[in-house]
Amino acid sequence: MNKALLSALLLLVCSIPLQATDIVVAAAADLNFALKEIIAQFEQQTGHKVKSSLGSSGTFHAQISNGAPFDVFLSADIAYPKELEKGGFAESNSVFIYAVGRTVVWVSKKSHIDVEKLGMRALLDPSVRKVAIANPQHAPYGRAAVSSMQYFKVYEAVINKLVLGENVSQTAAFVQSGAADIGIIALSLARSDTMQAIGKYWEIPLETYPRMDQGGGILKQARKAGHLDAARAFVQALRSTQGRTVLERYGFFLPKSGESPR
């Protein structure tokens, strides 16, 4: 074997951890596209494997409180990881802010509605029969949608037209499929190649809904399962310059370096 090939093989072996680990990440649905990129980078660089489960942050909070076997929780609301840490379900001092979520009003390009011009009043267009939002009972993006509709004084006019998605990703699917005529979804989803190809959107002003600090934490389950080192490595990758670059590209505001949960 020549020296160049031997050196390349040694470099490959040294870059893979001695004990590659499979971890399970419960993540807010607005991370759908960004997380795929971050996981791909992490797996390639470390040799660890990540299985992600996307859904409503409130639903994950309930599942984790009842012993669901997740190693890392990435919530759309910092309050959920903080509650888990307080309840003894997350590692002490492991809760962190990784991004700040943003919302948009989204319609299909097939729609005649000029959402960029009308903004929130696009929901009042006579052609609109169904308005999709995430369920505000357990989805932070649903609560943000209600807050913005109330701010613009359109909530009462559309309340009977609301179609509630289990999470913001399902909400986007409702509008994408035509099951709803218009919807309020995450900017991170609207910026994906898939959604940009078929839709148009108006970004909702940040002052119309409470700041959505999106927080995460490492769960006690990771320690019990022997996954703690891999879970920590994944969180480090998410918060690295490379991870933050991906999040920013999908429209997330980024917390200041070292910013603590409020």
Q: Model pTM? A: 0.83
Comparing CA positions, the residue from 30, 37, 81, 80 lying closest to residue 252 is 30
- Do 21-100+211-249 and 103-203 agree at the fold level? yes
pLDDT at 2: 57
CA 87 to chain centre: 23
For domain 21-100+211-249, the CATH architecture is: 3-Layer(aba) Sandwich (3.40)
Q: Which two tokens stand for residue 247?
A: 């999040």
DSSP, res 178: T
Instruction: Map residue 254 onto helix, strand or coil.
Output: coil
Phi and psi at residue 13, to the nearest 5° = -65, -40
Instruction: Report pLDDT digits (tens) over 125-179.
Output: 999 999 999 999 989 999 999 999 999 999 999 999 999 999 999 999 999 999 9
Q: Which two tokens stand for residue 223?
A: 């320690």
pLDDT at 48: 96
Q: Which residues pair with 207 in a beta bridge?
A: none
pLDDT at residue 102 is higher than 80 = yes
- Mean pLDDT score, 210-234: 96
To the nearest 10 degrees (0 to 180), the angle between helices 241-249 and 228-239 is 60
Strands 96-101 and 212-218: antiparallel
- Domain 103-203 CATH superfamily: Periplasmic binding protein-like II (3.40.190.10)
Q: Where are the domains of the chain?
A: 21-100+211-249, 103-203
User: Are 71 and 217 spatial neighbours (Cβ–Cβ below 8 Å)?
Assistant: no
